[in-house]
């Protein structure tokens, strides 16, 4: 075991070999958690006395919101690893994570807006958390757009990594700015499940399962996406060689 460190997975061949079996395992786990968690939450939990049946939306909103942020954090770490250690698998993993992050952000935005609708009377409110997710969505879009706009793989990896790092700082700044900006808004415009109080166990456990499900779903999709990116990179290298021959 002494020779196998985490970094050995930076080797594309070893990565492909390991994920070949890891992918279906994680996939099944993700599927089970999602199905169990959502069915449990949707069918077998009571309504909230204040929010009615809309509380059932937390089983979608909270996990997706968490993953939207975690996806970006993973991209940040992967970008740093690329810039420092030049592991291609890391750069490609960041690239693969972005579309998944976008999807999570969209789910968080949609469920957040729908959850708030009975409370606000409108389909959208510029409340701090939803607004921050909207800004995060824009950062994701920019990241993906930059990847697509650059032909050379290494250059794209470098530039998108720098963008991810700078973007992370500004995303954080935006969070504070939006809170500041929102101070004048009337009370009751914020989404919360009374985070300060304790969430009742009856909601908490299915929520945990759903969070696990979304997290595992993220892992599966990123592993699959990274495998695709590794193959795509090999593909374009071979095509380039064909063209020159």
Partner 1 sequence: MPELGKYAAEVSLAYVISIALVLGIVALTVWRSRRVRRALEDVEERRRSNG
Partner 2 sequence: MTALFLRDLILSVRAGGGFGLALAFFLIVTVLVPFGVGPESATLALIAPGILWLGALLACLLSLDRIFALDYDDGTLAVLATAPVPMEGIVVVKAAAHWITTGLPLVIAAPVFAILLSLPPAQFGWLILSLGLGTPALSMIGAFGAALTVGIKRGGLLLSLLVLPLYVPTLIFGAEVVTRAGSGENAGTALAFLAGITAGSLALLPFAAAAAIRVNLR
CB-wise, 10 or 100, nearer to partner 1? 100
Q: Is residue 57 involved in binding partner 1 (CB under 8 A)?
A: yes
Q: Which two tokens stand for residue 213?
A: 């499900």
Distance of alpha carbon 15 from its chain centroid, rounded? 21
Verify binding: residue 185, partner 2, rule CB under 8 A: no
DSSP sequence for 65-102: HHHHHHHHHHHHHHHHHHHHH--HHHHHHHHHHHHHHH
- Span interacting with partner 1, options 7-15, 58-66, 74-82, 180-188, rule CB under 8 A: 58-66
Which of these segments, 24-32, 34-42, 57-65, 153-161, binds partner 2 (CB under 8 A)?
153-161
Other CB atoms within 10 Å distance of the CB of residue 143: 24
Per CB under 8 A, the list member of 114, 120, 158, 199 interacting with partner 2 is: 158
Q: Give the separation between CA 9 and CA 238, rounded to whole angstroms.
A: 23
- Near partner 1 in 17-56, by CB under 8 A: 34, 38, 42-43, 47, 52-54, 56
**45 close to 202: Cβ distance less than 8 angstroms:** yes
- In contact, 13 and 230? CB cutoff 8 Å: no
Q: How many CA atoms does the CB half-sphere of 100 hold within 13 Å?
A: 27
Both tokens assigned to 210: 């759903």
117 scored as a contact of partner 1 (CB under 8 A): yes
d(CA 70, CA 5): 24
- Among partner 1, partner 2, none, residue 138 binds (CB under 5-8 Å by kind): partner 2
Residues that bind partner 1 (CB under 8 A): 34, 38, 42-43, 47, 52-54, 56-57, 60-61, 64, 99-100, 103, 106-107, 110-111, 114-115, 117-118, 217, 221, 224-225, 227-228, 231-232, 234-235, 238-239, 242
Residues that bind partner 2 (CB under 8 A): 135, 138-139, 141-142, 145-146, 149-150, 155, 158-159, 162-163, 165-167, 170, 173-174, 176-178, 180-181
């Amino acid at each position: 075991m002494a020779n196998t460190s985490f970094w050995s997975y930076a080797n594309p061949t070893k990565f492909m070999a390991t994920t070949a079996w890891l992918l279906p395992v994680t996939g099944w786990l993700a599927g089970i958690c999602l199905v169990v968690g959502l069915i449990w939450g949707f069918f077998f939990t009571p309504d909230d006395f204040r929010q009615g049946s809309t509380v059932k939306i937390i089983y979608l909103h909270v996990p997706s919101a968490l993953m939207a942020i975690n996806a970006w954090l993973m991209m940040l770490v992967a970008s740093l690893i690329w810039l420092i250690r030049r592991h291609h698998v890391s750069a490609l993993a960041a690239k693969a994570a972005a579309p998944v992050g976008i999807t999570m952000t969209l789910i968080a935005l949609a469920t957040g807006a729908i959850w708030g609708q009975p409370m606000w009377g409108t389909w959208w409110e510029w409340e701090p958390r939803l607004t921050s997710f909207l800004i995060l969505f824009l950062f994701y879009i920019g990241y993906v757009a930059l990847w697509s706009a650059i032909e050379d793989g290494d250059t794209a990896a470098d530039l998108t990594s720098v963008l991810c790092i700078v973007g992370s700082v500004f995303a954080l700044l935006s969070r504070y700015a939006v809170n500041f900006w929102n101070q004048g808004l009337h009370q009751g415009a914020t989404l919360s499940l009374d985070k300060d109080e304790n969430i009742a166990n009856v909601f908490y456990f299915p929520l945990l399962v759903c969070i696990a499900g979304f997290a595992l779903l993220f892992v599966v999709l990123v592993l699959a996406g990274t495998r695709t990116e590794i193959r795509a990179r090999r593909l374009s290298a071979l095509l380039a060689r064909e063209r020159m021959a």
